[in-house]
Chain A
Amino acid sequence: MRFELDAATRDYVMSLREFGRDSIRPLGIERDRAGSPTPPDHPFFKEVLRRGLSKTTAAADDASPSPGPAVLRVISAQELAYWDRGVASSLPGPGLGGGPVMSMGTPEQKERLLGPFRNMTEPRWAAFAMTEPGAGSDVARIQSRAVQDGDEWVLNGAKLFSANADRADWIVVFATVDPALGRAGHRAFIVERGMPGLSEPRPEKKMGIKAYASASFTMNDLRVPAANLLGGEAHYEQRTRGAGFKGAMQTFNATRPAIAANAVGMARACLDEAMAFARDSDQLRPRDLDRMERMRRKTRTAWLMCLKAAWLADQGEANMVEASMAKATAAEVAMEAASLGMELLGAVALQGDHLIEKLYRDVKAMDIVEGTGQIQRIVMARHLVNYPREA
């Protein structure tokens, strides 16, 4: 066993730290005050490209199944979210859309869709759309319909909370050919910006993490060519039971440790801000130290869980339980750390202008996105106690 970072990775973290302090956090605070996502033409994104940061979050390399070692990915995710999770989620790249293209796409689709993300000179985004007004955690029950019509598919339905969909070149949209089929009816489509029938994705008004858009859109008789069925017909014929659903789940399994790492980074930020406040105001009492100890310990635990889940992925080993464990743990830790921060601030927090107050709003999302803590426990239970799917 080893628990240390090599010099190159440390240097990389230090460079992220410098950029985070100088650019990411100020931008996150700015967008929080503005109440809207960072505009796509903001110079920040060009600076991101210049520094090559989008590579760490974008699955754009056809030759590898992930954007790099999973461990490096969680390290990056943790540090970026420390400075601002909303800004971190706004970075150019294919985002969650990259996963299903990599796991399900044909070679032609991978090249066509992910190729433009290699060596980007202009910021560009892709997106992923699964959640619907009536299907959140229970993604098997999505209602968006896909009907084949000759060489085209016709899509109808509504999608919610799709990250960066407002600026995406394309969106991986999950729809069903027959809701009665459950997971087996799922298909994944590439919906491209400007296609007739696609409404303009509308950023939602959120409580926190405002620097990136969680956009909603509708599809009204939206026609996509058969070439945009992800994986082609062959993918679904070979794996008749739930191939589309499994593609979506693989996406979450791959990204869950990074989301957990985001939460760890936010917990760290809460701890550091709380510590700084308590010191500056000369209010670091013994009971506060006890509370800080607990949060520091829980944060450390969650971080080790993230690393373990990512390390397993790098070894090519199953990590579903570890990924869910990290996600469930880290999200709760971050919320508790933010709440403790508010407590230490006391009435100062009521003014609404302290970073901890922003973090308190931001972190709640971490126990919701990509599977709530309750869903993570269900996932673990399927492995631990053979928890039935229909319970």
Chain B
Amino acid sequence: MIDFSVTGDAQILLDTVTRFAREHLADTARKAESARAPGADATRLYEDLGLMGLEAPGGGLGLLERCLVNETLGRADPGAALALDRLGAAGYALWAAEDHESVAAILADPARRAWLATPEDGAMNVSERAASGEIYFTPAGITDLVLLAPTGIAVIHGGIEELPVRGAGLRAANPMRLRLEEAPVARFYRTPTAGALARARLYMASLLLGVLDAAAAYARDYAMERITFGRPIAHHQAMTFMLTDMNTAVTGTRLLIQEAAWRLDTAGRDAEAARQAHEAAATAFVEAVEQSAFVGPAGVQVLGGLGFMQDYPVEKYMRESRALGLLYGGLDQARDDAMALPETTLMAGGLF
């Protein structure tokens, strides 16, 4: 009934991803940031490990496993994780539309890259025929732009102009701004988008969680080594409490993400269960973003002046955790969705 254990298959997957992230992403994160791309070996291995689309319907793994994987990748380099996953969260929209052919084509062709965006990710006008406007952040090389429009899902292949941007973070993904002028909609699916958006939020939230976990862990380790006034700074109570609160923030966010992912994986065709799962995903996203505003800057604070320097990773954690939380409508849109149906806890189902 209540079970927090990770299954054997998922654990094996995680062990593999952990090794991959450590050996091919974490140690080269600054290099990837400068080069605006992960290393070629990382790209090849990511494809070989079958991490793209691992949560495909009927494949045996689900969103929960994706969240576990993304947390691990986010811990190492979230920008590289976005660059490596050519399907990304766009898969959720394509699967919702039962467009399995497009998913298969993207997975099979290394030259193709999909990206999921909502109108709130830029300034977009989307109809069933064409789309115009801008999307403010995507990785470079988008060939399949999947837009969550108010009435359905639009897939766009042509008429996309990429404009390089510096990027507030996530530079390993080679950030671009997209400009579309009457870009033709190749396919439009009149299908509900709430499920895809919920999954996409958890996709990003779990990457964000990985960054927060890395920030909290780095700050803790540093605080154990740095001596001031005759003791490790971790043992000055003002700092001690900040470190415990950072750890609590990460743990709470993780629990919300995992619960929401489980709900999305198990809701099936139960409309009420799906609604609750969508709210849970929005809730987890909001928590991740709110905690990024605490854990990210706190990580820098623990290191003091050193934290402000690019010789240490905490400034990158601070920038990138905040950047991830701005996608898919960001905090405010998710907050609205989390309270889509205000109700008492006696009325709500699930754990309450």
Contacts and interface: CB of A to CB of B under 8 A. Distances in A.
Contacts of A380: 244, 247-248
A381 B339 contact: no
B234 interface: yes
A277 B2 CA distance: 33
A303 interface: yes
A271 B346 CA distance: 10
**Most chain B CB inside 10 Å of its own CB: which residue of A2, A307, A384, A387:** A384
29 contacts: A1-B6, A2-B1, A2-B2, A2-B3, A3-B2, A3-B262, A3-B350, A4-B1, A268-B345, A276-B344, A289-B342, A292-B342, A293-B335, A293-B339, A297-B256, A297-B283, A299-B345, A300-B256, A300-B280, A302-B252, A304-B252, A308-B4, A310-B2, A322-B251, A325-B247, A377-B244, A377-B245, A380-B248, A384-B243
Nearest to B223: A385
Contact of B232 (A297, A328, A378, A385): A385
Contact of B251 (A293, A305, A307, A381): A305
A391 B237 contact: yes
Given A297-B287, A388-B235, A292 B2 contact: no
Nearest to A71: B2
Q: Is the interface of B mostly helix, strand, loop or mixed?
A: helix
B345 A272 contact: yes
Given A3-B259, A293-B335, A328 B248 contact: yes
Interface string A293-327: 10011011111110110111000000000100100
Interface residues of B, number: 47
Contacts of A271: 344-345
A329 B6 contact: no
Given A272-B346, A385-B240, A301 B255 contact: yes
Contacts of A121: none
B286 A377 contact: no
Given A2-B2, A377-B244, A325 B351 contact: no
Could you tell me the dominant secondary structure of chain A's interface residues? Answer: helix
Interface string B219-261: 0100110000001101101001101110110011101101100
Contact of A304 (B5, B220, B237, B256): B256
B64 interface: yes
Contacts of B243: 381, 384-385
A310 B4 CA distance: 11
Contact of A386 (B224, B245, B248): B224
B338 interface: yes
Contact of B2 (A275, A301, A307): A307
